[in-house]
Amino acid sequence: MKAKLRDMLKSQKVFVICSLILCVLFLITIFAPWVAPNDPIAVNLAHKLQPPSLDYPLGTDHLGRCTLSRILYGARISLGFAILIFISALSIGLIIGIIAGYKGGWVDQLLMRLGDGLMAIPSLLFVIGFVGIWGAGLKQVIIGLILVQWVYYARVIRGMVLSLKEHNYITAAKISGSSTCKIMRKHIIPNVLPSLAVMGTLEMGWAIMNLSSMSFLGLGVQPPAAEWGAMILEGKSYIRTHPALMIYPGLMIMLVVVTFNLLGESLSERFGVKRR
């Protein structure tokens, strides 16, 4: 057992380390109220812009709020909503991609041209436009990001379904009397999933980055809620005197995005899936 574990650690170092980091991050996210030393939105102007101390391990911001607590609570929004975006975009993309790939013909043309249309607009611009119409806020940004994101999944999945469809086992299943629904469930989705896991981990980094950039632009999470991008925005005014206010959330974004990307790379190596 021990030897096996050591073997795994050696051969898949990146995979193990990345998964560990993410596990820790997820645990922190879930147990933020217990882990965080202070209330993340409690304003205390008497303690503003303090250096790290025992009470405030990473110091305080311009309103005297504990930076560490804000980072920990911020993980809830950044990670939590990134997962929400990922899962929703994936489900939409999976359904549309499979329908387009399997049915073919005009259904395929219609769905894919719709996707092409969405892809023609740069994704950030699209979200900004979306926010411009419906007003700034977390909900709008999330819906905008989902709308932008599903196209990528749909296209990749459609491609995979098209190549899977050529396999004789799909024809054989049809001849064995399997319904379309059963063919999807038993033959197509299981064969698409490993590639989706790879894509998903790579895209998670994208979702977090975009969510944070939107918040940084002041379009996403609204104060006083803590979110990494929004924290960078708030720290911006103090960049000369207290750069730490921007550095800590920035480092967190970097850590999470890099971890997700490395995890995606190692998964793709493992499953032998090529990146798009």
CB of 113 to other proteins, least distance (A): 13
CB 136 within 8 A of CB 222: yes
CB of 90 to other proteins, least distance (A): 20
Q: How many residues does the structure list for the chain?
A: 276
Q: What is the DSSP letter of 237?
A: G
Closest CA to 97 of 188, 32, 221, 20: 188
Query: 3-state class of 200 per DSSP?
Result: helix
Is the CB of 48 or the CB of 174 nearer to other proteins? 174
Which residues bind to other proteins, rule: CB under 8 A? Answer: 167-169, 171-179, 182, 186-187, 190-191
Q: From CA 259, how far away is CA 13, in angstroms rounded?
A: 13
Tokens representing residue 117 in the block:
């249309």
Is the CB of 117 or the CB of 190 nearer to other proteins? 190
CB of 40 to other proteins, least distance (A): 46
Tokens representing residue 76 in the block:
């809830």
Is the CB of 5 or the CB of 172 nearer to other proteins? 172
Q: What is the CA radius of gyration of the chain?
A: 22
CB of 194 to other proteins, least distance (A): 10
Is the CB of 132 or the CB of 190 nearer to other proteins? 190
Is the CB of 68 or the CB of 196 nearer to other proteins? 196
What is the phi-psi region of residue 11: left when phi exceeds 0, alpha when psi lies from -120 to 50, beta otherwise? alpha
CB of 272 to other proteins, least distance (A): 13
